[in-house]
Structure 1
Amino acid sequence: MDFTGKTVIITGAGKGIGRACARLMAARGADVVAITRTQADLDSLASEIGCATVQADLGSAAATRAAMAKAGPADMLINSAGINVLESSFDMTEAGFDAVMGINLRAALITCQEFARARVEAGGGGAIVNITSIAGHRGFTEHLCYAASKAGLEGASRVMAKEFGPHGIRVNCVAPTITLTELAAEAWSDPVKAQPMMVRHPMERFAEADEVAETIAMMLSDDAKMMTGAVVPVDGGFLAV
């Protein structure tokens, strides 16, 4: 999978799966445009892989549109930006809902929209991968808004696949299991909570960020040129059993 001559925009590129994607896509020849909130993360990533950077808080719709304008035209888009606010169904707050849905769902829809508009203006073609979660398929305690945001993004991605398809733009989702990132550590660092989840994986482990990135790269490549509207689990078999 050689992406030489191609440009990819990656949101949430400063940490976790997004950073793994940035490293992998750069290693395979792509020009990476990294969007994230923390300037220090952008600086370290730029030093590591030589990417272009855009600092933005994607919790703001206006900032998200401005970030995409600054990122410029691209051939591919990876939506990795995401947060979680650990609140139960009894304890959900409006602030938690707005924060999670604003970044995990609204920002992703805006970046897809701006990417697709630019691709159509350029003559069409291109590929999007939105990172969702097995939390959109199974109920996990204290993941109410997170699950809603990820399930919502999968539904929206199917709509975009239908509407963008005539322009040659593919839209797919990757739904990872618990992936060993900083965000996951907050939710799953307690062995009492993590072990029952671990044993439900036929592979008997959680995912590494690089493993998710490799699947995303495949879905962006021409090896997957007939794939659109799909949700691909990267879950060690969790959803299969």
Structure 2
Amino acid sequence: MLTFHDGPYLVTGASGGIGAATVRRLRSAGCTVYASGRDTDKIRALCDETGAFPLPFDLRDEASIEGAVSGIDWYGVVNCGGDGGEIAAPQDTDIEVFDRVIAVNARGTLLVTKYAAREMIAAGRGGAIVNVSSQASLVALTGHVSYGASKGAVDTITRVSALELGPHGIRVNAVNPTVVMTPMSAWYWDKPETGGKLLEAMPLGRYATEDEIAAPIAFLLSNEASMISAVTLPIDGGFTAV
């Protein structure tokens, strides 16, 4: 059984499937959790269900992030908020969409880390940050130039943050999931011509569930992972090894 510091923990993207599953898992372990996400109705319902606290802010707005995150002595952070962008080849990419995906996925992850880490350092208790990246940062996926670039940046943010924050006892890791059939993914991957090819190439031959991503996130936040930092962990059924 995993053990945790009592928190508090921040989970962004909690109105999505992986974020919500992470909130539920942390709350079931007795952790104090703050949930943030773009769908305020879903966040409110999740907090009513689990006893988490809502903490709304805009991942594209530095002032919004600073105002929400500052002043709380965080022990853990899960950067799960994301934008799936579009499916396009480099020559067809909509640069406005590219900029938005980078702003949410990469810049948003860095900004939450920036302001949360300041509070974690000030509290002097160490802590853990887990960034939700993607298999799209590890291998080339057709049409994923914007999303893959943003998640490649998340992996670099993870490694550099682990280097910089390690002396303060703060561990920083990332998980790199394969497809989970959340609404953000289903519109593209739930088709024979796309998802079928991915499943054929995956040794385990199936998509991941939300809980199968939330469980490793929780492990990386836990006391049992106290010597793990700077890892980018594929949770992909073996896809990136093929």
TM-score w.r.t. the length of structure 2 is: 0.95
- 1:83 aligned to 2:83? yes
- Which consecutive residues of structure 2, in runs of 5 or more, have no partner in the other structure? none
CA distance, structure 2, for counterparts of residue 228 and residue 4 of structure 1: 17
Amino acid at match of 1:49: T
Deviates more, 1:164-173 or 1:118-127: 118-127
CA distance, structure 2, for counterparts of residue 186 and residue 65 of structure 1: 33
C-alpha contact (below 8 Å) 2:134/2:177 kept by paired residues: yes
Deviation at 1:237, TM superposition (A): 0.9
CA distance, structure 1, for counterparts of residue 69 and residue 95 of structure 2: 27
Amino acid at match of 1:149: S
TM-score w.r.t. the length of structure 1 is: 0.96
CA distance, structure 1, for counterparts of residue 130 and residue 51 of structure 2: 22
| Alignment match, 2:121 | 120
Deviation at 1:2, TM superposition (A): 3.1
- Which consecutive residues of structure 1, in runs of 5 or more, have no partner in the other structure? none
- 1:217 aligned to 2:218? yes
Q: Give deviations 1:172-209, integer Å, cap 9, x for gaps.
A: 00000111211111221222211010111111101001
| Alignment match, 2:25 | 24
| Alignment match, 2:140 | 139
C-alpha contact (below 8 Å) 1:38/1:55 kept by paired residues: no
Deviation at 1:25, TM superposition (A): 0.6
- 1:98 aligned to 2:99? yes
C-alpha contact (below 8 Å) 2:7/2:31 kept by paired residues: yes
CA distance, structure 2, for counterparts of residue 97 and residue 29 of structure 1: 39
CA distance, structure 2, for counterparts of residue 139 and residue 14 of structure 1: 28
C-alpha contact (below 8 Å) 1:35/1:67 kept by paired residues: no
C-alpha contact (below 8 Å) 2:5/2:222 kept by paired residues: no
C-alpha contact (below 8 Å) 1:135/1:150 kept by paired residues: yes
Supply the RMSD in Å over aligned alpha carbons: 1.3
**Between the two proteins, what is the percent identity of the paired residues?**
35
Deviation at 1:97, TM superposition (A): 1.4
C-alpha contact (below 8 Å) 2:5/2:75 kept by paired residues: no
C-alpha contact (below 8 Å) 1:59/1:102 kept by paired residues: yes
CA distance, structure 1, for counterparts of residue 121 and residue 58 of structure 2: 26
C-alpha contact (below 8 Å) 1:84/1:100 kept by paired residues: yes
Amino acid at match of 1:73: D
Deviation at 1:4, TM superposition (A): 6.1
C-alpha contact (below 8 Å) 1:4/1:29 kept by paired residues: no
CA distance, structure 1, for counterparts of residue 214 and residue 178 of structure 2: 13
Aligned ranges 1:25-174 → 2 under 5 Å: 25-69=26-70, 72-86=72-86, 87-174=88-175
| Alignment match, 1:186 | 187
C-alpha contact (below 8 Å) 2:13/2:80 kept by paired residues: yes
4+ long deviations beyond 3 Å: none
CA distance, structure 2, for counterparts of residue 101 and residue 6 of structure 1: 29
